[in-house]
Structure 1
């Protein structure tokens, strides 16, 4: 499931503008104030309702300030396309006088399609017993990473938790990196791996999900060899040029990169239980100002490394970076926004 197009009407100064995304990774650029982040917010608001319906949690509502000045109503519309070629439309609107309209029928059809395609549910056996089934279907993810995404919130305690597939959507619309859940998931997977080593008398065993997440977290970083949780200090540590460092001792660029790649990889591992390599899963990921905290040499390679690490993700990013723009080719959609005079 990917985005084919999105249309904004009277939304935060964008009036009747359609963006054709064609399921590709899209790079949006332009000077400050032209609406780059506005496009990401609009997509996020659509996914907020979809995820809320899937997970039975509270959605994110429109704000009256989202309506363009002097207008009475704002609308966001999107077309989604599935692997079988079927397309679904969904729109949300907000009226200053009458409030929101979340198009419940459109939303119901879209969510039912998602559930039928990607989620295995239990069933009633006819005798009052609910039978759980193993959900090994692979599900597309969504995540939104804003400009304030780097928050290394390490839990004081990290109790063991049972993570489920739909947890891939947990805090996906918050525009921050969910480092707390990354830390807890990472520790849990290390425990699972260590238990399997002892149980099977195989000290070389590697947990598949943990292995690919570790690989993703270090994909951008030269000289980094290992990443692990230290139990005594309850901290995530990396080995850099032969020395151990806590994550919070690294540069902002290193912290942001490890956390971004790690959070996304964790979501992919949860959402793709049936894949040999969960990082080959699909989905839509928003990143505002991709170059944040990065040296120019990293800016040149970051989008390529993201696409190599997560080859089937449809990234939609904003940037000011000439280095990022200079690396693009015809495999990407390039959207230039300019200020109306």
Structure 2
């Protein structure tokens, strides 16, 4: 079967989600909470109800698929009300009997311990199957041992899966054991049978068990000869591997066989396989034995616990089955998505598919350095600020720094994306701007403060007028480009050399990382040029520092405060909140040319603040601005006002700074500046606009 169209409306966070599909399999990619697992659940619920002819689906859906016989099946429920009819069309004609056209099997393989889907959709079929098997041995009914239409495959069948693959005559299955699982030889098989087995009545499963129950321990060759006798020999017995899978599956879940254990490679067992190898074993055997043609496979994050070098083998395992089975997987693995054709990828975010036009734009802009996984993360980000950095270590260090300092920046939240080169940042920002659909966020490019970064930011494209504020905007039309900014890493105080992210730490930290790089690998110096030795040690040192920085103390990240202050300033620089918060002097602020944003000029106290000069006399300081913790002795009036604002919860102490919890209006620019800096100051000189012009200039021109 092949799903051609699917629409779900009203299941959990899936609201009017739909897609058209015309490829070998479907891969749903997205962050946790994007809705991809919910989509698998909704599909399972649809088929659960179709198999059982129930009508209690409480969401609307449309499902269209094609069978291997080229029949077109259309199934639809138009509303979200329970117990309403579901309509069926078979090749365009109404049909009340959908059962012959449903998938032969629906197989779910889940990576986690979540039991909700099992209980909701798969357990009822399991229970009915067990009941029928038990009924057959109680009443002597000859059960054919067909597996239930909906199967949930889990860890209890690892040995059965391995045995059946080993018994298979197909070269592909033998290669899988050798090349993927590194199993050269199955040595022995042992079973634990129910001692009361004689009380069971005849059925096909018991017929098979009666053949193998005379011994509890077999060599592999003994067992293979027993169950795969040629038809010309005694009793004409010959069991195919898929039959053996069904009988042992049935025998184990009914308790006829308590356990199945294999020994291989002389003295290894299933427990010696990694979690990832066991997952690959389940997937391969399920595709091979658990389902026929026209079956549907739902695999939730099949790459979980699988080593990165083996992830691509998941996609390889589909190749012999994807033509006649519909396979749907969810993943957030970059390795997996790199192996999948674009037409099979469906990016999800917040219960919706990301529009194909946006996917196409981001793919066009980033395919050189991002795969589908990174593109999905970018498109699915729900943060208002996006930081674009040069390399992976920039991202790691900024993330680690923010994890230590975030209590000082409670209103700051962002996602970080590595571009892998300073030269690629500006083209990406220009492309995002020109696309016109990515202007609901602020994008901030962070360049190394070295020769390459300075050339990238200076050679054109960013407005030089804002250089003195520590950041710049994309050029041309400033009003339209207010979402795109760039800055150089702010150098630590007293540091005058080229500054990369590693220089944001005290030099001892990099020295330790460098020494470890030398100590860990003396092979750097063997048969390599001096330049290659230098580059290897440098890269290893950077990696060492990135790895160790996650355990650094808060004080080790002190130099990152200047970076976060700049980001916070940019965040507030184009505030769209035009309604002043309620306080003793609250009113609406209209957008007009008088309300230019002003910032506290560079100061030695490490605080940032943003305000608007209003009514030709007052200063409206915006929420999230910072104020110095301490006041000098001469600032008595300032201290009294500060105490009042603290009491009224306008100011909240976060570590060593006060944060404005709401907008607040001061009588004059100086009153605002004095409170923020904690000392007497001339506010007409302290407040500057984005052009570094003092507020005093505005007063003189009026």
TM range (shorter): 0.5 to 0.7
The alpha-carbon deviation at position 147 of structure 1 amounts to: 2.6
Q: CA separation in 2, counterparts of 1:89 and 1:36?
A: 23
Q: CA separation in 2, counterparts of 1:51 and 1:9?
A: 21
Is 1:236 matched up with 2:213?
no
Tell me which of 317, 332, 339 is aligned to 1:327: 339
Is 1:336 matched up with 2:300?
no
The residue aligned with 2:59 is 74
Which stretches in structure 1 are left out of the alignment for 5+ residues? 54-58, 63-72, 115-138, 152-158, 191-205, 272-280
The residue aligned with 1:101 is 84
Q: Deviations over 1:179-210 (max 9, x none)?
A: 45983x988x89xxxxxxxxxxxxxxx97xx4
Which stretches in structure 2 are left out of the alignment for 5+ residues? 90-94, 116-133, 192-215, 218-258, 353-381, 383-702
SS at match of 1:237: strand
Instruction: Note the 1:122-271 alignment, pairs <5 A.
Output: 140-148=104-112, 164=144, 166-167=146-147, 169=149, 171-172=150-151, 174=152, 176-177=153-154, 179-180=156-157, 183=160, 210-212=168-170, 215=174, 218=177, 221-227=180-186, 229-231=189-191, 232=216, 234-239=259-264, 242-268=265-291, 271=292
Q: CA separation in 2, counterparts of 1:219 and 1:94?
A: 51
The residue aligned with 1:124 is none
Cα RMSD of the aligned pairs, angstroms, is 4.0
The alpha-carbon deviation at position 235 of structure 1 amounts to: 2.8
TM-score by length of 2: 0.32
The residue aligned with 2:527 is none
The alpha-carbon deviation at position 299 of structure 1 amounts to: 0.8
The residue aligned with 2:20 is 20
Q: CA separation in 1, counterparts of 2:175 and 2:104?
A: 18
Q: Would you tell me which structure has more helix in proportion to its own residues? A: 2
The alpha-carbon deviation at position 48 of structure 1 amounts to: 1.4
Q: CA separation in 1, counterparts of 2:51 and 2:175?
A: 25
Is 1:83 matched up with 2:68?
yes
Q: CA separation in 2, counterparts of 1:186 and 1:319?
A: 25
The alpha-carbon deviation at position 329 of structure 1 amounts to: 2.5
- When the two structures are aligned, how many residues end up with a matched partner? 257
Contact 2:3–2:65 (8 Å) recurs in 1: yes
Q: Would you tell me which structure has more strand in proportion to its own residues? A: 1
Contact 2:36–2:348 (8 Å) recurs in 1: yes
The alpha-carbon deviation at position 262 of structure 1 amounts to: 1.8
Is 1:9 matched up with 2:9?
yes
Say which one has the larger Rg: 2
Q: CA separation in 2, counterparts of 1:229 and 1:223?
A: 18
SS at match of 1:34: coil
TM-score by length of 1: 0.61
